[in-house]
Structure formats: structure tokens, C-alpha cells
Structure 1
Amino acid sequence: MRSIDLTGFGSTALVDAIARSMAGLPATPGALGVGVSGGADSAMLAVHCTLFARAHAIPLHFFHVHHGLQCVADQWQAHVHDLAWRLDVPCHSIMAQVDVSQGDGMESAARDARYDAFSQLAQLTGVKHIFLAHHRNDQAETVLLRLLRGAGPGGLAAMAPYSNRGGLSYLRPWLDVGRASILMQAKLFFELSGWQAVVDPSNADDRYTRAALRTRLTPELDARWPGWQGNLVRHARLSGEAQQILDEVAAADFALLEPAADRRSFSLAAWRRLSPPRQALVLRYWLALCAQRMPTDARLQDLMRQMRGLHALGHDRQMQVRHGTTTIRCRLGRVML
């Protein structure tokens, strides 16, 4: 296969979105990574990141995660490496370990495995910033799924344009870009190069939650409310702003709870002086600080009921609430993990 000449190719709007995403970084990175599955979205992000990286003389790496969940996964891996070779970009692959024992489902397990794999590839290459190809359609689906699951403002904020996980920065420059624009570029790229993106059959398999929404509900929404995706993306942005304000309130409240230096305990009496909504807010904030999973609303309400029923100084040591792999206790007026 010949190398691909990208002269004159690419969407200015898509490259500009990448540039705006980069402008939010504190400094120009030494190298960038792009997650590339081989599908149209990630392949076009890889191509446009290549254009951006060449224009700014920034080293670029493609990261491919082999989940081993499809019989054609080996072919996808080879196909991604072929794209990288033809673009003259180094490509790195890794086999993910998908653990479904946590009970959150295959989609969640595959996502966690993918981030673990990205972390390993980033260590290998020295990359600190990784681009992901989520777009407006993905964002709208995420907001809708979280709404159906009863998420609050933090959950409804959906995917952030810039996030940190495990010491790595993840950038999603195309959250305001509709997939139709990306597919148009994929078509033009095929006409230019003969390289065609792969199609993951699980994306249309309605045994998976997101695929069910995409194949069953989305066509109805498109027909009746054509602007629904843009509306939900705007809702995600507003929810993110609201959550930021709530986080600032929670941080201020937590500082008044006489927290321990390691932040794993606080004063029960001080917590009781807060209004009920702020009691719930600061508990969620505390659990997040301690890297704990968020409880369901029912479990949080039960925890608060028990905390309100304790002796004011916490002499009642009967409260032991299991939370994941930890236990929340109260001793001598202190709530602790």
C-alpha cells in the first residue's frame, strides 16, 4: 500500500476544533496520542490530528486497544496499523483485559479496560494527552441514557471536553460536531486513499443499551424533534456549569466539617448543621474525594437517616454502613471511612 498524500484533504472546521481543544492546555505537550479503533469517527480524528500535528511539529502516536470481543478484532488491529503506516505515524496496540465480574455490564467493563490500556500505552510512549473521537451524537445519547438512569447534574453533564483520569488528560474536541460531518470526511478519505473504516456490528446490536437507544429510540426522536441532539448537548454544558457551582459549595461546606488531614473523616455535629440538601451534597463530595463510587439516592438517604439518628457525640457505635469495599462508621463524633 502506498503512503497517503493529505495535501488539500481535511475539514478546516474539524482541524480548528482540535486547535481550540489544544488551546485549553497549560502548555504545548511533548507528544499527543489518539485512540483509534478503526471506525469512521476515530479514524477521521486520527487523520485530522495528523494534519494538526504536522502543522505544529508535535509528535503524534496512534493507540489501538484490542478488546478481543469480536472475531474480526485481529483484522481491525492490522487495519489501524495499516492506516498509521500510510500516514507515517507510529501506532501502538495492546490487548485489553475486560473484567465483567463487577456487575456493571459489558459496555462498562470494556470502557474501563480501554482506559487501563490507554494508561499503559501512554507510559510506554511518554504521552500525557490523548484525543478521543466522541461527537455530538455520542454526547446526546449519553445525556439521554443518564437521564433515564436518574442521574443528577454531574451525570447529566455527560462527557467533558477535557478530563483527567489516572494522571492522563483526555481531550474530546468534537463534542459539538455532528457525526454526519465526520462520515462525509470518511467518504472523501476513502475516495482519496482506498482505506475504508471498519464497522463494529455491536453498534447496531440492541442487546447493548446504547445500541438499543440508537436503533430504536433515536429514529423516533429524529423524526419528531430534529433538534434534540443539539438541545441535549446544550443541556450537558449547562449541567456541567451547575455541577461546578455545586462542587464549589460542597468544597466550602466540607472545609467547615473539621475534616481530618487525610480527608477520610469529619465532624458529625458540624454536618448536622447543614440543610438536608447540602448534607447530601457534601457526602457525595466527600466520597468522591476519597475515590469511592457514588451511592444510589436510596442508599445515600439511608446513610443520612442513620447519621441523623446517632447520638450527637457519636457514642452510638452501632452504625456500620457497607459502601463498596469500605465501611462508613461513626466514632466519638467523627464520621469516617
Structure 2
Amino acid sequence: MAPLAPPVAAVRAAVRAALAALPEPGPVLVACSGGADSLALAEATAFVAPRLGRSAGLVTVDHGLQPGSAERADAVARWGRNAGLAPAEAVPVRVAGRPGGPEAAARDARYAALTAAARRRGAVAVLLGHTRDDQAETVLLALARGAGPRGLAGMPPVRRLDGVRLVRPLLAVTREQTRKACAALGLSPWEDPHNTDPSYARARVRAEALPALTAALGPAVLDNLARTAELLAADTATLDELAARALAAARTPPGDGPAGLSVAALAGLPVAVRGRVLHAWCRELGAAGAALSHRHVRALDALVTGWRGQGPTHLPGAIRVARRAGRLVPVTD
């Protein structure tokens, strides 16, 4: 028997570790576009999952944004069935009319389809094919946009979306390894033209920014960016836990008006924790996360630390918060 190619072994080992770490039995689904990353992930899952006593299926999302997309999605689903992934289905989505730019709209439509498929099939997790290179790109984009620690923490290995567990087994695997794994296995990945379209920020980072950084600073820059995300994710998790406790401690009873937060309790918090408390409270009040910015949180913070008798702070969703009787409270008057 010929020895297993190292890239194939690396991808399969990553998938084995991710599946073994799932806390419950049950089927999984692989999100597969047909590109090298997700194709290598799907092949590895088809190999590993049965050996761990799990069934595995495949979902490919047809965004309908390119000619022939439906036929290509059907071909990916057909490949999945031939590879032993069942069920393997192509799901069409509508991107037009969704909020945000084209990248965000396509991403939202894709994740909505994946989570719906997981619920429909009773899957305990959806596996996503993001690699170490994707993580480095995410961190660099977040840095360019002035994101805080949460943005710089990049993509988490595991998170829940609408009650569905999303797992990224390949965050320690490189894009080159997935391409070499496909070549070793005789698989022919699809090259998405959007990945090289300079109208997309991520495509520009992939084609220009990261190669320039690698040329200037050496190949370790990709590992270092991904490691930065890992370290910040751990710090962010700790700060979020502290903020959750602080939010509970700062709550005040309704009294003669609506429930709010104690200004004295907020003022005694470290800046990093107080910002998270205010952000979480804004979300509770109904402010949409996508529209809630550091400017809104800073304005709320000024009601605590820079009080000069100013009026209410306006939040997304026509929400207003004022300081009254030593409390921050939502107001309607």
C-alpha cells in the first residue's frame, strides 16, 4: 500500500480531531462549494466519520450569482453521494434584496441555508472549510477596519448560529495543503472567480496584501496572524465572562420607571469590561448588532464617565437611553 500523502493525512487528522471533540453523537453535514478547501474537507469527512461511528452528509449552496451555478451545485452534490456522503444536496438561495454589500448578503444567505439544512436533517454540526489562510485574511481585514479584540479574534473553531453548531476543523491547515490533498486524491476543485475579483476586499487581501506582507516579513506572518486570533479569542472569552457577571450586578429594579443599569456600578468597572457590558445591554434593548458601533457605546459610556447633564443617547432601532437618578434607562419621552 502506498504511503498516505502528508497533506491528505493532515486534513484527515484535523477532521478526526474535530469530530472526536463533538459532545454528542449524531450526523454531521459538510458545507462544500467544490473549491479545494471544502472539497478536501468533504473527502476527509467521508473517510473519517464512518470510522468514528458517525454518518455524514453534504450541503452545497447555489447562490445563483454566476452562469451555470445550478449545474455546478448539482455536480458537487452528485460527487458527495458518490463519495459516500448522505444525504448530499444542493440548496438554492436568493441573495438579492438582503441587507449589506454583496459579500455580506451572500454569506448571510449561505449560513441561513446551512443552518436550515442542519435542522432539517437533524445534524449535530455543520463543518466549514476555512483554513489558516482564511483566518489570516480575516484578522488582516479586521485590523484594516479598526475592529476591536472581538474582530481580531477572527473565526472561532466552534460557534453556534441559530441553535446550530458550526465547526471549522481546518483552521490549522493551510490552503496549500488542501490543494495538495486534492491533487493527491485526484480531485478537481472548482476555482470560484469571486476569489480573484478585485472588487471584493478579501480577494484583494488574498492577491495583494498578504503576498506583500509575506514578501516583506517572511512566511511566518500567516502563522503569526492566525496565532494572534487564537490568543485574542481566549482573552475575549474571559472578558465576555467578566462582562456577563458585571451586567447582572449592575442591573437595577424598575422602581418608578423602566429597569436600567446602575451608573455607580458601571463607573467602577475597567474600561474593557464596561464597554462589553454596555454593548451587551444595547443588544438586549433591541439594537441590531450590525448597526451598533463603537460610537454608540462610547456615547453611552460618556453618560457614565463624562456626565454633564447631556440628553439621551440615540441607538440603532430608534432606541434612546438617558441617565436618570443614577441609572441608565431606556426612555420614550
Relative to the length of structure 2, the TM-score reads 0.87
* Alpha-carbon distance, 1:196 to partner: 1.5
The partner residue of 1:169 within 146, 165, 168 is 165
Q: Which residue of 2 aligns with 1:3?
A: none
In structure 2, distance between residues paired with 1:52 and 1:322: 48
1:69 alignment partner AA: L
Tell me the SS of whatever aligns to 2:147: coil
**1:275 to partner: Cα distance:** 4.8
Stretches of structure 2 that go unaligned for 5 or more consecutive residues are: none
AA aligned opposite 1:239 = L
CA RMSD in angstroms, aligned pairs only: 2.6
Unaligned stretches of 5+ in structure 1?
1-6
Match of 1:300 among 297, 302, 319: 297
C-alpha deviation, 1:128, in angstroms: 2.4
- Distance across 2 between alignment mates of 1:50 and 1:23: 14
Q: Which residue pairs with 1:91 in the alignment?
A: 88
Aligned length: 318
1:64 partner letter = T
Q: Say yes or no: does 1:208 pair with 2:206.
A: no
Contact 2:63 2:69 in 1 (8 A): yes
Given that 1:154 and 1:239 are in contact with CA atoms closer than 8 Å, whether structure 2 keeps it comes out as yes
State how far apart, in whole Å, the 2-side matches of 1:172 and 1:310 are. 48
- Cα displacement string for residues 205-245 of structure 1 (whole angstroms, at most 9, x for unaligned residues): 11000001111212212222221100001100111111112
1:327 aligns with 2:322: no
Instruction: Describe how 1:112-131 pairs up with structure 2 within 5 A.
Output: 112-131=108-127
Q: CA deviation at 1:127?
A: 1.0
Cα distance, 1:329 vs. partner? Answer: 2.4
* Correspondence 1:336 to 2:330: yes
Report the CA distance between 1:132 and its aligned residue: 0.3
Structure 1 counterpart SS, 2:281 = helix
C-alpha distance after superposition, 1:238-275 (max 9, x if no partner) = 111111121122122212202569x9842344323435
Structure 1 pair 310/164, CA: closer, same or farther in 2 (3 Å)? farther
Letter paired with 1:205? D
Q: Is 2:231 the counterpart of 1:231?
A: no
Distance in 2, Cα, partners of 1:169 & 1:109: 21
* Match in the other structure for 2:242: 249
TM-score by length of 1: 0.86
Alignment of 1:48-127 (within 5 A): 48-89=44-85, 90-99=87-96, 101-102=98-99, 104-127=100-123
Secondary structure of the structure 1 residue equivalent to 2:165 = strand
Residues in 1 aligned to 2:223 and 2:189: alpha-carbon distance in whole angstroms: 26
Q: Contact 1:259–1:267 at 8 Å: present in 2 too? A: yes
Residue 26 to residue 246, structure 1, CA distance change in 2 (3 Å): same
One-letter amino acid matched to 1:250: A
Cα displacement string for residues 113-154 of structure 1 (whole angstroms, at most 9, x for unaligned residues): 111001221122111201000001000000000011111111
Match in the other structure for 2:190: 198
Contact 1:31–1:58 (Cα < 8 Å) also in 2: yes
**Corresponding residue for 1:150?**
146
Separation in 1, partners of 2:208, 2:4 = 39
- The more displaced of 51-60 and 127-136 is 51-60
Give the C-alpha shift of residue 334 in structure 1: 4.3
Q: Distance in 2 between matches of 1:49 and 1:65?
A: 18
| Aligned residue type for 2:279 | R
Say if 2:276 is the partner of 1:281. Answer: yes
Q: Distance in 2 between matches of 1:290 and 1:303?
A: 13
